[in-house]
Amino acid sequence: KAGVTQTPRYLIKTRGQQVTLSCSPISGHRSVSWYQQTPGQGLQFLFEYFSETQRNKGNFPGRFSGRQFSNSRSEMNVSTLELGDSALYLCASSLDGQPYEQYFGPGTRLTVT
Amino acid sequence: AQTVTQSQPEMSVQEAETVTLSCTYDTSESDYYLFWYKQPPSRQMILVIRQEAYKQQNATENRFSVNFQKAAKSFSLKISDSQLGDAAMYFCAYRSQGTSGSRLTFGEGTQLTVNP
């Protein structure tokens, strides 16, 4: 089975712009979670989508949003980028009901200048 | 809210020796899952080992084992016969069993160096 894929792998944006990141889960996985990783804050949960519905949300401002499509692919969007949004964004997919099997993608490295 | 604490920002071990990474957590829940993830320089998060809180037996996966002390809310990872490929950042993570879906709460991480 193909693993979790994330595109793009690297991205450079300017303050004030918006960005969209994509995550394709493992085939058959309906749950997709997003995490932000920074040196200062560590790994923080952004949100989780299951069957096109946001099931859980972390403590991030409304500039961070996401969605999930009928094929379980997910996108996250960050509007009005700030320097502090520079981070590695990781997504993870899992089968619902399988608490162990959460697989992570390689991440998207976002740099905001 | 649950919190996870890893008090060792860095650890080092000689190749072939044993090292233990510490993790404590705080929760009011009785049923939950605990994980250790490894993140090598490639940044790919890899599940190392998992533990269900209702199981008293400590989980073991080849050279990796845990010491789960539920009352003390402690979950340490022991790596035996350390190999150069074990060098990575290790994260302890907590997941509720309840209605919070797949959300993981991570510790700050421990950077493990393996010396040849």
The residue of chain A nearest to residue B91, with distances taken between CA atoms, is: A43
Per-residue pLDDT tens for B54-98?
998 999 999 999 999 999 999 999 999 999 999 999 999 999 877
Out of B37, B100, B106, the one facing A42 most closely (by C-beta) is: B106
CB B46 within 8 A of CB B40: yes
pLDDT at A97: 66
The stretch B40-45 carries a mean pLDDT of 92
Those of residues 7-66 in B touching chain A at CB distance below 8 A are 33, 35, 37, 42-47, 50, 52
- Selection from A1-10, A101-110, B79-88 with the highest mean pLDDT: B79-88
Taking the C-alpha atoms of residue A44 and residue A34, their distance in angstroms, rounded to an integer, is 9
pLDDT at A96: 75
Q: CB contact, 8 Å: A60 with chain B?
A: no
Structure tokens at A36: 């932000």
The stretch B37-48 carries a mean pLDDT of 94
Taking the C-alpha atoms of residue B67 and residue B77, their distance in angstroms, rounded to an integer, is 7
pLDDT at B1: 79
pLDDT at B100: 64
List, as one string, the DSSP characters of chain B: --EEE---SEEEEETTS-EEE--EEE-S-SSEEEEEEEE-TT---EEEEEEETT--SPPEETTEEEEEETTTTEEEEEE-S--GGG-EEEEEEEEESSSSTT--EE---EEEEEE-
Mutation test of the interface with chain B: which of A10, A34, A57, A104, choosing the one with the most B Cβ atoms within 10 A?
A104
Q: Is the pLDDT of residue A9 over 90?
A: yes
What percentage of residues in chain B have a pLDDT greater than 70? 97
Q: Is the pLDDT of residue B99 over 90?
A: no
Q: CB contact, 8 Å: A35 with chain B?
A: yes
Q: CB contact, 8 Å: A33 with chain B?
A: yes
Q: Is the pLDDT of residue A100 over 70?
A: no
Per-residue pLDDT tens for A22-60?
999 999 999 999 999 999 899 999 999 999 999 889 999
Q: CB contact, 8 Å: A55 with chain B?
A: yes
Q: Is the pLDDT of residue B22 over 90?
A: yes
Structure tokens at A91: 């997504």
CB B29 within 8 A of CB B95: no
CB A93 within 8 A of CB A22: no
Q: Is the pLDDT of residue A99 over 90?
A: no
B56 Cβ partners below 8 Å, 6+ apart? Answer: none
Q: How high is the mean pLDDT of chain A?
A: 93
Taking the C-alpha atoms of residue A103 and residue A29, their distance in angstroms, rounded to an integer, is 10
Those of residues 61-100 in B touching chain A at CB distance below 8 A are 91, 95, 97, 100
pLDDT at B11: 98
| Bridge-based pairing state of the strands B110-115 and B10-14 | parallel
Q: CB contact, 8 Å: A50 with chain B?
A: yes
List, as one string, the DSSP characters of B73-97: TEEEEEE-S--GGG-EEEEEEEEES
What percentage of residues in chain A have a pLDDT greater than 70? 96
Mutation test of the interface with chain B: which of A5, A48, A102, choosing the one with the most B Cβ atoms within 10 A?
A102
What confidence category does residue A98 fall into, taking pLDDT thresholds of 50, 70 and 90?
low
B58-87 exposure pattern, b = at least 16 Cβ within 10 A, e = fewer: ebeeeebbbbbeeeebebbbbbeebeeebb
| Residue B114 CA, distance from chain mean position | 17
Taking the C-alpha atoms of residue A88 and residue A94, their distance in angstroms, rounded to an integer, is 20
Q: CB contact, 8 Å: B105 with chain A?
A: yes
